């Protein structure tokens, strides 16, 4: 196998990555015992595996409620997975709770881009064009600026595009979801949510 891998290193990598013992052992051997390189290898493999799992049907899961500020703000979110077994794991439940907290804090309009009504997107584009009307910039430059502003709108308004508030170094909510799929070995889908705020 090349590099001899200690059980201690395998367990440390397992703790860091959430991957199986054999996967950790193999990654460490491939990486010549380098922990960071092994972690990178596991993440790359996990993303590939998660991509395949993301097309599988997810009809189990959890509807979770999160109440904040002594009942002034509440969120209901449905997150699906493939089996009841995974739905009961702490990892899955922790992800669901953090998603609900994300929705409470960041007020997304929808889970994904395609869920935002076309007329809302068109209205945003019209506002951006109106802002640039007197800029004197050529039409192709205006189009590029509008596209850039629209991308920013999606990053703020779509749950999956938002930066993960619990650890921004983890990337977007979608990136974290992909990591959960890789760890749990099942497709995980944020299906829908409702956010309620007193007086709004």
How much is the pLDDT for 130? 87
Residue 17 tokens read as: 């990555």
Q: Give the max Cα distance, the chain.
A: 67
Q: Compute the distance between CA of residue 39 and CA of residue 31 in angstroms, rounded to an integer.
A: 9
30 and 103 share a domain?
no
Residue 43 tokens read as: 């993440």
49 and 128 share a domain?
no
The answer to whether the predicted template modeling score (pTM) of the entire model surpasses 0.75 is: no
17 and 101 share a domain?
no
How much is the pLDDT for 112? 94
- Using the predicted structure, report yes or no on whether residue 4 has a pLDDT greater than 80: no
DSSP-assigned letters across all residues of 2-70: -S---HHHHHHHHHHH---HHHHHHHHHHTTT-HHHHHHHHHHHHHHHHHHHTTS---EEEEEEEEETT
Q: Does residue 21 lie within any of the structural domains?
A: yes
Q: For the residues 79-103, what does the mean pLDDT come to?
A: 95
Quote the domain boundaries for residue 126.
117-157
CA angle (156, 159, 161) in 5-degree steps: 65
Instruction: Supply the mean pLDDT for the chain.
Output: 86
Integer CA distances (angstroms), 177 to 46, 181, 198, in order? 12, 6, 29
How much is the pLDDT for 55? 53
146 and 123 share a domain?
yes
67 and 141 share a domain?
no
Q: Which residues pair with 67 in a beta bridge?
A: 74
64 and 104 share a domain?
yes
């Amino acid at each position: 196998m090349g590099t001899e891998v200690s059980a201690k290193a395998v367990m440390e990598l397992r703790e860091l990555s959430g991957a199986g013992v054999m996967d950790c052992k193999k990654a460490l051997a491939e990486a010549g015992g380098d922990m960071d390189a092994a972690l990178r290898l596991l993440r790359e493999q996990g993303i590939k595996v998660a991509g395949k799992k993301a097309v599988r049907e997810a009809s189990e899961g959890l509807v979770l409620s999160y109440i904040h500020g002594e009942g002034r703000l509440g969120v209901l979110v449905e997150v699906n997975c493939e089996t009841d077994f995974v739905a009961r794991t702490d990892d899955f439940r922790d992800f669901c709770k953090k998603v609900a907290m994300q929705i409470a804090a960041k007020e997304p309009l929808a889970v994904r881009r395609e869920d935002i009504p076309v007329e809302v997107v068109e209205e945003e584009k019209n506002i951006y064009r109106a802002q640039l009307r007197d800029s004197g910039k050529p039409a192709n430059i205006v189009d590029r600026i509008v596209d850039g502003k629209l991308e920013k709108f999606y990053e703020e308004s779509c749950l999956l595009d938002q930066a993960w508030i619990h650890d921004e170094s983890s990337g977007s909510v979608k990136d974290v979801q992909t990591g959960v799929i890789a760890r749990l070995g099942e497709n995980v889908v944020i299906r829908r949510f409702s956010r309620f705020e007193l007086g709004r």
